[in-house]
Amino acid sequence: MFLKIKQEHRTFLRVLITYGMHIWVIIFVCNVVIFYSIRFFINASTTRTADVNTPVEITVSPPVATEIPTPVPTAAGPVINLSFSLPGIGTNGGNLMPSHVERDVTVHLYNSDANISDKVVKPAYTIKTQAVYDSDPNSSTYTYFVNKYVDLGAIANGNYQISIQTPQSLRQLMKLSDSRDPGGQLFDLSDKRFTTLPPQKMITGDVYPSPNGDNIMDINDYNLLVNCYNIQISSSKCANAAPADLDDNGVSDGIDYNIMLSNFRTLLSLGYSVPTIPVPPSDIPIKISPSTPGNTTPTAPKISQAPIKPPSNGAFGTIFIFILIVITIGSIAFAVFKFHLLNIFLPKKSETEKAIQSPAAEESVDKTNSSEIIEKTYYLKKVSVDTQKNGVWVTLADDAGITTGFYPKTDISDGFVKIKGTLRNDQEYKQYIYITELETED
């Protein structure tokens, strides 16, 4: 018995000397790092004062003239704050960098009892202004067109119905989100009163006649877009191509075509008459899917908080402590791996359990997030190449809207395709379509 204990003691010493040298070196380095980290952290956050006997020099600075702020011009009348979004421009797969960051806006003021649906009724006041595209991701109006200070001028005090219009869009009447009244929401526009209008989601597609349309979407608008299909805006083949570029990316393509179809369906759901769309040309093989258009009432964008910078005092000390934690974790991991300590805490498997393994458990790992098979025709547009996943992220557009997709190959080009795939989730792109089959439609 004594010989056995002595033999085990020698074995432990041999292991400690052979494999423990790494541990001793790491522990020594950890002690050195923690000593200097604490010392540096204390010194970095301490404010030193000058000695009493140190002479102090007083410098008299010449007087500085106080700047007089520039006076803000007084408004001539009531002021409104307006914002609106355009289909195909902004988040959810739209164009984040439109070619025109400023857009003309026309504000119409109607009397409280005016019937806006009657084309004979004219607005009481018309104000011309502009709105600017908000490209700041930290802004509450990100991807909206905004004008926070629109002076309505010398108008009579009272309650008014308000509508706004921008090129390519129909006139949008301000309404309550849950109202089915054909009339608009009333706004009290008193002298020099500031009013924030609810953000609007415009309906675009009024492109005929060029350049500002006629506040009607009919077959003439459809024909103009189809005639200018897939033509660069700068091309001389279509003089009126600019209005047909609804997502403002410099070309009239399948995305613009689907935006117009989607807005026709929106008008139909609101009770307006829409034209019968003829069979599209051979180079536009698009099918109108029976999907229901979404709610046209815009949702106010969420306010995102700006990042807060951490304090700079003791920053280097924090870095040293972080390095210390990494070294400590590495030391523990090395010891666990080297001496097989992990096996002590793991439950032991019987030989029968090791031999039997459910094949269903292995197959379930590779299942996608959804078993729903999607087979549709889209207009496909390449966005970026993913070298890690060896594929391409794309934008898929149809009359129901714009969707993000991923194709595990790189030999694709923009155009209309018939795809087959399933819905998946990703941290960066959230929900997207994983394309398993892709067929180009000529």
More confident residue, 194 or 317: 194
Domain 79-215, CATH number (from 3.30.60, 3.10.350, 1.20.1070, 2.60.40): 2.60.40
Measured over the CA atoms of residue 256, residue 257, residue 261 and residue 262, the dihedral's sign is negative
More confidently predicted of 179 and 188: 188
Cα distances (angstroms) measured from residue 141 to each of 13, 57, 106, 135, 147: 69, 52, 20, 9, 11
Q: Tell me the per-residue pLDDT of 59-90, one tens digit each, with 9 for 90 and over.
A: 545 555 455 555 556 788 999 999 999 999 98
Region 223-233 average pLDDT:
76
Q: What is the distance between the alpha carbons of residues 421 and 369, in angstroms, rounded to a whole number?
A: 12
Tell which CATH classification among 4.10.780.10, 2.40.40.20, 2.40.50.140, 2.60.40.10 matches the domain 371-440.
2.40.50.140
Domain positions in the chain: 1-45+315-341, 79-215, 371-440
pLDDT tens profile 402-442: 888 999 998 888 888 999 999 887 766 578 899 999 888 76
